[in-house]
Copies of this chain bind each other. A is one copy, B any other.
């Protein structure tokens, strides 16, 4: 540990936020917790970031919590395969990232400017995809939005729940096998809908 290195200190603080978020969630990110995990005096947290809210805002800004994979609808054979791929990616992303699960969980209990920003961004991204699917498939946009909501909503719910609960409707939401079953159901649904 180099002494008197502000950049490194800020890094350590932000890293501490990351480990706390991943293990205990955003609710547990407090001044004292960050100070003790990072090994940095809590005064510096205030000095360099202003407040916990601003520190969290910075953390959210640094970590791009969104689908970074591009989904060019043109590259897919048809809308059905495109849809399946999008939701598959959504599930993978959420199952792989503890921080993202914690973010979604936090969002359910909180309302603040940082979260509002993330919501807007998600809303725009999602509606872009939904619009594209509606246009290409000729399906009513409300219907597409509805189907999309059913899937992403339940996937979000199950991924959060899985951290504390192993089984939901006989599906093992902790294991790959359970998720493969659900993916099969999603595929089945799309096969029925896009006839």
Which residues in A have some Cβ–Cβ distance to B below 8 Å? 25, 27, 105, 107-111, 119, 123, 126-127, 130, 142-143, 145-158, 160-161, 164-165, 167-171, 181-182, 184-186, 188-189, 192-193, 195
Would B171 and A123 count as touching, CB distance under 8 A? Answer: no
Would B169 and A126 count as touching, CB distance under 8 A? Answer: yes
Given contacts A127-B170, A146-B186, A156-B157, 19 further A-B contacts (CB under 8 A): A105-B109, A108-B164, A111-B165, A119-B165, A123-B167, A123-B168, A123-B169, A123-B170, A142-B170, A146-B182, A146-B185, A149-B154, A149-B158, A149-B182, A149-B185, A150-B182, A153-B154, A153-B155, A189-B193
Give me 5 A-to-B residue pairs in the complex whose CB atoms sit less than 8 angstroms apart, sorted by A's number: A145-B171, A147-B185, A152-B169, A153-B153, A153-B157
A123 CA to B171 CA in the complex, in Å? 10
Give the copy number.
Answer: 2
Would B165 and A154 count as touching, CB distance under 8 A? Answer: no
A192 CA to B147 CA in the complex, in Å? 13
